[in-house]
Amino acid sequence: MSSLLDFDRQHLWHPYTSMQNPLPVYEVESAHGVRLRLADGRELIDGMSSWWAAIHGYNHPILNEAAEKQLHKMAHVMFGGITHEPAVSLGRRLIDLTPAPLERLFLCDSGSVSVEVAIKMALQYQQARGEVGRTKLLTIRGGYHGDTFGAMAVCDPVNGMHHMFQGVLVQHIFAPLVDCRFEDPWRDECLDAFRELIATHRHDIAAVIMEPIVQGAGGMRFYHPHFLAGVRELCDQHDVLLILDEIATGFGRSGELFGCDHAGIAPDIMCQGKALTGGYMTLGATLATAEIADVISAADPGLFMHGPTFMGNPLACAVACASVDLLLQMDWRDKVKGIEQILVEELEAARSNSLVADVRVLGAIGVVETKEALDVAVIQEKFVERGVWIRPFGRLVYIMPPYIITADDLRYLAQTLVAVLRES
């Protein structure tokens, strides 16, 4: 073991790992395009986009240029009392891209923080309206919204990643899993449980929060657009805000620019992160309607109570502008559709595996769900030996590659996934 890996094992705490029995890690020396180059010279085709983020791949010349150009001006400056061109330019882009009611933008540090900001906005908005009893959020089971405490409280309380914190998290209201898959014929009764909960608790609920169409780390499920459209109608009916967590779904991953576009609806508050900078820098954004901003600003204390140190970071904003422009200039819709077609073709072979419970694909997301949890260390090593980077968790093995991936590389990724599961 190299001194670097030895130090890592002894001192660096990786996400969702034990320090007494850590999972193996692989030293990455560099990355270019869709390939990660390990320190031992091996190259891996990246099937994860670094957790949804690196949609343009790695070491992209346009994003590199944007970062280098901004770095020579200023890497960071406080956003309190100061503004700058990268933040304003990014704000213009995001407001133009998102549904019309979203006209106010809060730039923050990360996706999890954008969820915290959204929750705080909803609560402060209701308080400003005199609705002091509206302190709960309504969501659906199977969701994942981040690892900070506000976000954890609206993640799935039973099968999520944070069940051991139940005793200290705020208790919110959870509707059952959506019982209508994306591709299934719509059944209106799928909304019955949600309909009943929002009506029963309408005086307690400040907002509904959901991942639109695609549930990410909570289960990688794809639900019917009519469900989301129905939730929008119910929120309007009961005077409840709708927060949509587009951190994973934003910027084309599901086949539409944003997940809410599948349903043709707009939220009152939208959270963004991950692919916002193309995976280069950590950055989050929370967009809200003008009404929410005006109501909060008109009531005591006359301002929104949040202000991260690195909000509006100019280096991150500059790269985000370049990433958004790069996405819009490419035929992203065709590329994502092409990825979807190949994943459908290649992952279908996994259905015959007795270990597999389900196979599902939407946009540039391919998921194989197994009947039992997998040994991550063992299966990860098999993937690396075959030259691919696929990071499973629990019973889920999934691919969400950079949009620039070639058909040959994608087929190899998917075929390797199927082959490794067949051997497991």
* Distance, CA of 66 to CA of 61 (rounded, Å): 9
37-43 contacts, C-beta under 8 A, 24 or more apart? 39/2, 39/4, 42/384, 42/387, 43/387
Work out the end-to-end distance of the chain between its first and last CA atoms, rounded to an integer number of angstroms: 26
Q: Which of 125, 268, 274, 335 is catalytic?
A: 274
Q: Can 125 be counted among the known catalytic residues?
A: no
Q: Which of 16, 184, 188, 236 is catalytic?
A: 16
Give the residues across from 28 on adjacent strands: 38
Quick one: which of 156, 240, 226 has its CA closest to 191?
226
Q: Can 26 be counted among the known catalytic residues?
A: no
**206 to each of 145, 239, 414, 424, how far by Cα in Å?**
17, 9, 42, 46
Residue 210: φ, ψ to 5°: -150, 155
DSSP 215-226: E-TTT-EEB-HH
Give the residues across from 365 on adjacent strands: 362
Q: Can 280 be counted among the known catalytic residues?
A: no
* Contact present, 388 and 320 (Cβ < 8 Å): no
Instruction: For the sheet with 102-108, list strands across it.
Output: 102-108, 284-289, 269-272, 241-245, 205-210, 136-140, 173-175
Structure-block tokens of residue 321:
């502008």
Structure-block tokens of residue 148:
């900070």
Q: Which of 46, 58, 109, 144 is catalytic?
A: 144
Q: Can 325 be counted among the known catalytic residues?
A: no
Question: Which residues does the annotation mark as catalytic?
Answer: 16, 144, 245, 274
